[in-house]
């Protein structure tokens, strides 16, 4: 009986969290900074309906010395037509989950999952999301994870 109650509690917590953060529908595993000579692009295509709301989350784990600014450049297409281009600062988030940031002797380690942007779908269509990660020059920047997560 205790196992059943524990299972029900875990299930209800999982459902509650999913209701708060949305259901993951795609993940762009970029994980590298693009430069003029090397572009690391990821993309996914989703069939979406008018009225759908897509939340763009960043799932980050990185470290650096000094200062660094990261940006995801996201282009959204219907077919070959670009309908939107947005730039997302992963540290500018309105919901944060599992954030741990430590700074010691000039070195910062930072990991988090955060909601950064919301997109309202205006018509039934297949949408392609293409993204790269860019950063200010910093030789001490180490990216362990830099992923965009699309949630409904």
DSSP per-residue letters across 31-75? -S---SS----EEEEEEE-TT-EEEEEEEEEEEEES---EEEEEE
Specify the number of domains making up the chain. Answer: 1
Whether the per-residue pLDDT at 123 is higher than 70: the answer is yes
106: CATH: 2.60.120
The SS3 call for residue 140 is coil
- Dihedral angle, C-alpha 92, 93, 99, 101, nearest 10 °: 10
pTM for the whole thing? 0.85
Whether the per-residue pLDDT at 36 is higher than 90: the answer is no
Does a structural domain hold residue 54? yes
User: Cα–chain-centroid distance for residue 104?
Assistant: 26
Does a structural domain hold residue 81? yes
Other CB atoms within 10 Å distance of the CB of residue 104: 7
Does a structural domain hold residue 8? no
Question: Residue 73 burial by CB count (10 A; 0-12/13-18/19+): exposed, middle or buried?
Answer: middle
At residue 93, the pLDDT reads 96
Whether the per-residue pLDDT at 73 is higher than 50: the answer is yes
Q: Tell me the pLDDT band of 13, cut-offs 50, 70 and 90.
A: very low
Whether the per-residue pLDDT at 7 is higher than 60: the answer is no
DSSP assignment of 76-121, as one string? EEETTEEEEEEEE-TT--SEEEEEEEEEETTEEEEEEEEEEEEEE-
What does the alpha-carbon distance between residue 56 and residue 77 come to, in Å, rounded to a whole number?
A: 15
Does a structural domain hold residue 144? yes
Whether the per-residue pLDDT at 33 is higher than 60: the answer is yes
CA angle centred on 50, ends 48 and 56, rounded to 5°? 55
Range of the domain at 92: 25-151
Does a structural domain hold residue 36? yes
What does the alpha-carbon distance between residue 22 and residue 25 come to, in Å, rounded to a whole number?
A: 9
Handedness of CA 33, 34, 37, 43 (dihedral sign): positive
């Amino acid at each position: 009986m205790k196992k059943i109650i524990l299972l029900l509690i875990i299930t209800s917590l999982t459902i509650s969290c999913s209701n708060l953060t949305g259901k993951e529908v795609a993940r762009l595993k970029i994980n590298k900074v693009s430069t003029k000579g090397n572009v690391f692009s990821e993309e996914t295509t989703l069939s979406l309906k008018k009225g759908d709301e897509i939340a763009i989350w960043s799932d980050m784990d990185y470290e650096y010395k000094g200062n660094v600014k990261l940006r995801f450049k996201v282009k959204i297409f219907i077919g070959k037509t670009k309908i939107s281009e947005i730039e997302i600062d992963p540290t500018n988030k309105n919901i944060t989950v599992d954030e741990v940031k430590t700074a010691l002797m000039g070195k910062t380690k930072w990991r988090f999952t955060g909601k950064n942007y919301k997109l309202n779908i205006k018509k039934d269509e297949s949408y392609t999301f293409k993204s790269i990660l860019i950063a200010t020059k910093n030789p001490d920047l180490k990216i362990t994870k830099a992923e965009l997560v699309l949630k409904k």
